[in-house]
Amino acid sequence: MGTTVGGSKRAYLCAPLAIFVWLAMPSLALGQDLKSKLPDIKWQDGPTVGSLGTLAEVRVPEGYVFAGGDDTRRIMEAMQNPPTGTELGFVSPLRPTWFVVFEFDEIGYVKDDEKNSLDADALLSSIQKGNEAVNQERKKRGWSTLTIVGWEVSPAYNPDTNNLEWAIKGRSDNGFVVNHNTRVLGRKGVMKTTLVTDPFRLKQVLPEYRTLLASFNYTGGNKYAEFRRGDKIAQYGLAALIVGGAGAVAVKSGLFKWLWKVLVVAALAVAGLLKGLFGRKREA
């Protein structure tokens, strides 16, 4: 059940677990206004600085909105996605074609000694094998399965920003789906940023998303470079972050709710949630 990837003895990849939008996502109309759809949320209009707890902050430009941790959990509930309790922020254009959820996983300092040995082929193989177990569970529930096609964005680590980024492309009965993730390493753990958008908009959206992420900063004392001897060290490295790490046990324990809690992928039920929230059919 345990294999290693990229030479890391810590990266035990038992049934890893890419989560995708299982149904084709509806396109979002530019005329839809998040604030009118969710009026009870304490929205902060850009330009502003969004506080991600006491750990970090992100600059929110004009035309975008920000919600803090408690309100992000309310947004997830409204979207019929179980909150994890680790949500720290939500950013979206006011008239959204995409959104980002920020969550912090306090797993400790993740060593980046695998940065030059990430084997994209081996990682993909591990994810595909893990996905076979996920598909077996889906079949038992009478749900459609998913085929992992390959990388939409190959795994890459930027040692200057300590960002780890990847995106996996899959195919369901209803078309292609994409799961895009970034992990920003910090002194005490990892900030998980999950980008949710229509797969057909991904290439268009990525420059906006990366510009937003470039304005992300850990606060003093929480930066990756501020690691000190005696700090907690994570039990796994970069490769395991990509394939799910310890979350592989999710297959055995309440699969989809637990997968959300471990991998924190906002796209688990995005197809249904966005259709319900924005009430739009896919454009031809």
| CATH code, domain carrying 198 | 3.40.1000.10
**Does residue 93 form part of some domain?**
yes
Q: What is the pLDDT of residue 228?
A: 97
pLDDT of residue 135: 82
**Residue 7 forms part of a structural domain:** no
- Output the six-digit token pair for 67: 């919600």
pLDDT recorded at residue 80: 65
Contacts (Cβ under 8 Å, ≥6 apart) of 241: 110, 164, 183, 190
- Per-residue pLDDT, 57: 98
Q: Tokens standing for 5?
A: 């990837």
Residue 101 falls within a domain, yes or no?
yes
Residue ranges making up the domain that contains 43 = 34-278
Task: Specify if 22 maps to a domain.
Answer: no
DSSP 96: -
pLDDT at 137: 76
In the prediction, which pLDDT does 32 show? 59
Position 162: which residue type?
A: N
Task: Please tell me the total count of domains within the chain.
Answer: 1
* CA separation, residue 9 to residues 110, 119, 210, 281 (Å): 14, 14, 31, 47
Closest CA to 264 of 121, 93, 85, 143: 85
In angstroms, the Cα distances linking 51 to 34, 70, 158 are 20, 12, 24
Phi/psi for 167 (5° steps) reads -145, 135
The answer to whether residue 5 is domain-embedded is: no
Give dist(CA 148, CA 20) in Å, integer: 10
Does residue 28 lie within any of the structural domains? no
pLDDT at 18 (0 to 100): 33
Per-residue pLDDT of the chain (284 residues; tens, 9 = 90+): 232 333 333 322 222 233 333 222 333 333 457 888 889 999 999 999 999 999 999 999 999 999 999 999 998 888 766 788 999 999 999 888 889 999 999 999 999 999 999 999 999 988 888 888 778 877 887 877 888 889 999 999 999 999 999 998 888 777 777 778 999 999 999 999 988 887 788 889 999 999 999 999 999 999 999 999 999 999 989 999 998 743 332 322 233 333 333 333 333 333 333 333 333 333 33
Model pLDDT, residue 143: 72
Q: Specify if 26 maps to a domain.
A: no
Residue 272 inside a domain? The answer is yes
How high is the pLDDT of residue 83?
A: 82
